Amino acid sequence: MCAKDLRIELRARVVMAQVLPFGVLVLILFAFTLDPNSAILPRIAPGLFWITVLLSSILAVGRSIAVEAEHGARDALRLSGMDGGAIFLGKVAAVVVQLLALELVLIVATFMLYSIDVRGLEVLVIAAISATIGIASTGTVYGVLASGAKVRETLVPLLVLPICAPVLLGATKAFESALAGRSGEAWPWVQLLGAFGALYLTVGFIAYGTLMEEA
Amino acid sequence: MAIVTVRSAVCVLGQFPALAGADLTVDAGEILLLAGPNGAGKTTLLRLLAGLVPLRSGSASVLGVDLTVDCRAHRRRLSLIGHETFCYDDLTVIENLRFAARAAGARDEAANFAATRFGLGAIADVRHARLSAGQRRRLALAAALAREPELLLLDEPHAGLDAQGRDLLDSILVAASADGVTVLVASHELDRARSLATREVIVEQGVVRAGQFVAPAGRAAL
């Protein structure tokens, strides 16, 4: 499932050719709006980065759902006989890989645009991975819930963005602490991100098969 | 041995009773033709047997699985061909076939064999998005066979195929039946479907009644 989704993305290049430019554009617009010479940009950069990632992830999750909507592929998945939990883990893994690649480019753009010195790299990496698993799991769970709705494109952000508020808060705080050279203060936030990701991974693994049937 | 047993099945789609007390029994190795007008409930009956449509009342057993208890357990052992191809635009012919086969626990060799049987070898590396309508239909049918099913549920399988493709499909279905695969075909092309069917039933206004068609002597034993 993961390999299939990644192969489709490698060919269609929706995330890299459309979502990534969207993310970079959002970062540039933030810089324009907030005055690049202002000292405020480096201070709020972690929040801007994670808002950008969250908005971009909605598009990536939407793409993951759309792939299964073409040519009755969702019915094919239901008929395939594959375990719902396995389908969920495969789809989450594919979204995580795509989002991590996206974040890698966006973080470099953030550091360059907002003139930030890189510190606490270990915390940044672990926090980013934990937050990404949380976002991908949540998006995949609510994505399948909305997959049968005609207003899917607008419903998914309405469902996912509020639920991901703890991820936005935790990842922003962890990044702020790490970039300020206070990595010790970041770990409780990283733990929050880990707990959130584990919770939604578990919920999705258990419920995905049933949600797919009911959608 | 009955592979499919349906008793007084009622299925409601929205407010509309798509099946209104349908009864059906299908034995192993049969090729059963489901005839009937548009909107009679043929597609709903096939989707019920695949476990995609819930029963409102009545009972249904497919491949030994009681659908009122579990509508998923039997899915790996059947293939359904509907109006869609069930394939991914950005995967090639062979990748779509292998994905379908692996999902059902079949080997890659089954996918390769299905590609060859349906004459898809020359376009094995072409993406689904670039196929013609007829080629897509062949791919959908090949994907159904690649799963090595015990039960084939086909909804208008000849639609979109050229004459050669139709003949090929018929020969493959008869061969599958001879190998013990049970086939249900919903079709409006009665002459063609009767040429391969062992029995016919008529679906009308959500109920099933016996058709007049009886296979020639010897055909029923296929």
pLDDT value at residue A67: 87
Mean pLDDT of chain B: 90
CB atoms inside a 10 Å sphere around CB A159: 17
A168-198 tens-digit pLDDT:
999 999 999 999 999 899 999 999 999 999 9
Judged by a CB distance cut-off of 8 A, whether residue A8 touches chain B is yes
Distance CA A127, CA A133 (A): 10
Distance CA A184, CA A150 (A): 46
Q: Is the model's pLDDT at B218 over the cut of 70?
A: no
pTM above threshold 0.80? yes
**Element (H or E) spanning B117, and its range?**
helix B108-117
Q: Kindly tell me the sign of the dihedral angle through the C-alpha atoms of A133, A82, A144, A61.
A: positive
B28-77 tens-digit pLDDT:
999 999 999 999 999 999 999 999 999 999 999 999 999 999 999 999 99
Judged by a CB distance cut-off of 8 A, whether residue A191 touches chain B is no
Distance CA A16, CA A48 (A): 20
The three-point CA angle B164-B198-B209 to 5° equals: 115
Q: Is the model's pLDDT at B222 over the cut of 50?
A: no
Distance from CA of B217 to the nearest CA of A (A): 36
Grouping H, G, I as helix, E, B as strand and the rest as coil, residue B162 is coil
Of the candidates B32, B86, B118, B113, the one whose C-alpha atom is nearest the C-alpha of residue A79 is B86
Write the Ramachandran bin of A115: left for phi over 0, alpha for psi from -120 to 50, otherwise beta. left
Judged by a CB distance cut-off of 8 A, whether residue B89 touches chain A is yes
| Span of A27-36, B53-62, B84-93, B159-168 with lowest mean pLDDT | A27-36
Judged by a CB distance cut-off of 8 A, whether residue B126 touches chain A is no
The three-point CA angle B119-B124-B125 to 5° equals: 155
Question: Any residues with CB less than 8 A from the CB of B17 and at least 6 apart, and which?
Answer: B10, B11, B56, B206
Judged by a CB distance cut-off of 8 A, whether residue B146 touches chain A is no
Residue of chain B with shortest Cα separation from A8: B90
Of the candidates B43, B32, B24, the one whose C-alpha atom is nearest the C-alpha of residue B193 is B32
pLDDT value at residue B219: 55
ipTM: 0.82
Which DSSP state fits A18? I
Q: How does residue B221 score in pLDDT terms, banded at 50, 70 and 90?
A: very low
Which chain B residues are closer than 8 Å to A77 by Cβ?
A: 103
The CA-atom distances, in angstroms, between A137 and each of A22, A87, A163, A204, B41 are 22, 12, 11, 7, 38
Q: Is the model's pLDDT at B217 over the cut of 60?
A: no
| Locus of tokens 């997959």 | A147
Range of the domain at A163: 2-214
Of the candidates A90, A79, A209, the one whose C-alpha atom is nearest the C-alpha of residue B104 is A79
pLDDT value at residue A72: 83
pLDDT value at residue B8: 94
Q: How does residue A142 score in pLDDT terms, banded at 50, 70 and 90?
A: very high
Judged by a CB distance cut-off of 8 A, whether residue A83 touches chain B is no
Distance from CA of B10 to the nearest CA of A (A): 19
pLDDT value at residue A161: 93
Distance from CA of A67 to the nearest CA of B (A): 7
Judged by a CB distance cut-off of 8 A, whether residue B160 touches chain A is no
Contact A80 B95 (CB under 8 A): no
Which DSSP state fits B127? B
Q: Averaged over B11-25, what is the pLDDT? A: 90
B119-156 tens-digit pLDDT:
999 999 999 999 999 999 999 999 999 999 999 999 99
Residue of chain B with shortest Cα separation from A79: B75
Which DSSP state fits A74? H
Which chain B residues are closer than 8 Å to A213 by Cβ?
A: 71-72
Grouping H, G, I as helix, E, B as strand and the rest as coil, residue B122 is helix
Judged by a CB distance cut-off of 8 A, whether residue A117 touches chain B is no
Copy the structure tokens of residue B32: 């059963």
Judged by a CB distance cut-off of 8 A, whether residue B97 touches chain A is no
pLDDT above 90 covers a percentage of chain B that reads 73
Residue of chain A with shortest Cα separation from B106: A80
Q: Averaged over A56-85, what is the pLDDT? A: 88
Distance CA A79, CA A18 (A): 32
Which chain A residues are closer than 8 Å to B75 by Cβ?
A: 78-81
The CA-atom distances, in angstroms, between B59 and each of A39, A84, B15, B206, B207 are 71, 25, 20, 15, 14
In a mutational test of the B interface, the residue from A11, A14, A71, A212 whose CB has the highest number of chain B CBs within 10 Å is: A71
Contact A8 B88 (CB under 8 A): yes
pLDDT value at residue A125: 96
Contact B52 A209 (CB under 8 A): no
Judged by a CB distance cut-off of 8 A, whether residue B128 touches chain A is yes
